[in-house]
């Protein structure tokens, strides 16, 4: 796999030639475009051979922003495969700087359930969130300028493991165009279904939030159904219509419909 920095600043015919030549001998090679640029260029790079692309997910933190972001991905789904990175060496969003561990948890679950592919940059699993200065998205101790010794021992790793296990087990999470938005009656709660998986996330990293997750009859679930939370194995009985939800700061339901 090659992560290509700023491919949009190089001629498109060059990438067409390079990707074609490499894949003629090594067809399994993945080219990931780190292309934060105009939509027309992002889609062009996808069409000429970049198998995955960074997205603007890192900056999409409110419910309205996330709805707009996913609708764009759906419109591109036939040729564009997104990779939702929660952070990058250059992007430590204010949401993470101020929200602490609950913000990290919420963004992790959103990335892993909204997008077929997602990524975390070193330090995320340890809640690293100190900027170089107020108002900056640069890390204070950036690995761009110093060597860091790393160990896979961050407190977020158990949640990463559960999320990845669920992603491997549930084919519905390996697509983006199958999302159905669900009403929550609270803009701090975002909810969506992907076939037989239901996700509800509290976007507020500071406060507990409550609302209703409305399951439309059109989803085809039974009038009442059992569900298991894939993050903590809790069991619930939900039904078509309104279901009361209360989630702590940054917490989420990640439900597999059982019947």
Q: CA–CA separation, 93 vs 135, rounded Å? A: 10
Considering 16, 34, 143, 204, which one is annotated as catalytic?
34
User: Which one is catalytic: 5, 25, 28, 149?
Assistant: 5
170 is known as an active-site residue: no
In this structure, what DSSP letter does residue 149 have?
Answer: -
- Rounded to a whole number of angstroms, the CA Rg of the chain reads 19
d(CA 50, CA 44): 9
Strand order in the sheet with 197-202: 179-182, 189-194, 197-202, 252-257, 224-229, 235-239
Determine whether 195 is an active site residue: no
**Closest C-alpha among 81, 134, 115, 259 to residue 194:** 115
Alpha-carbon span 26 to 130, nearest angstrom = 41
Task: Go through 105-120 and write b for each residue having 16 or more CB atoms within 10 A of its CB, e for each that does not.
Answer: bbbbbbbbbbbbbbbb
The 3-state DSSP class for residue 236 equals: strand
Whether the CB-CB separation of 60 and 190 falls below 8 Å is answered with no
Q: What residues are labeled active site? A: 5, 34
């Amino acid at each position: 796999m090659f992560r290509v920095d700023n491919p949009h600043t190089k001629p498109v015919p060059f990438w067409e030639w390079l990707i074609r030549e490499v894949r003629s001998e090594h067809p399994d090679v993945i080219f990931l475009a780190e292309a934060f640029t105009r939509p027309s260029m992002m889609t062009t790079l996808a069409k000429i051979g970049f198998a995955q692309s960074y997205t603007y997910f890192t900056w999409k933190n409110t419910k309205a922003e996330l709805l707009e972001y996913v609708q764009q991905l759906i419109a591109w789904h036939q040729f564009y495969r997104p990779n939702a990175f929660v952070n990058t060496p250059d992007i430590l969003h204010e949401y993470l700087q101020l929200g602490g561990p609950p913000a990290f948890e919420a963004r992790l679950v959103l990335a892993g359930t909204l997008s077929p592919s997602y990524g975390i940059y070193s330090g995320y699993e340890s809640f690293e969130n100190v900027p170089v200065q107020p108002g900056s998205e640069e890390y204070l101790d950036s690995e761009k300028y110093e060597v860091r010794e790393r160990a896979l021992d961050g407190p977020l790793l158990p949640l990463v493991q559960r999320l990845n296990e669920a992603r491997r087990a549930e084919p519905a999470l390996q697509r983006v165009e199958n999302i159905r938005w669900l009403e929550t009656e609270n803009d701090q709660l975002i909810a969506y279904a992907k076939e037989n998986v239901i996700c509800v996330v509290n976007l507020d990293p500071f406060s507990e939030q409550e609302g209703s997750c409305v399951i439309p009859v059109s989803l085809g679930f039974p009038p009442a159904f059992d569900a298991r939370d894939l993050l903590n194995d809790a069991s619930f009985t939900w039904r078509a219509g309104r279901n009361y939800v209360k989630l702590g700061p940054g917490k989420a339901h990640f439900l597999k419909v059982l019947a």
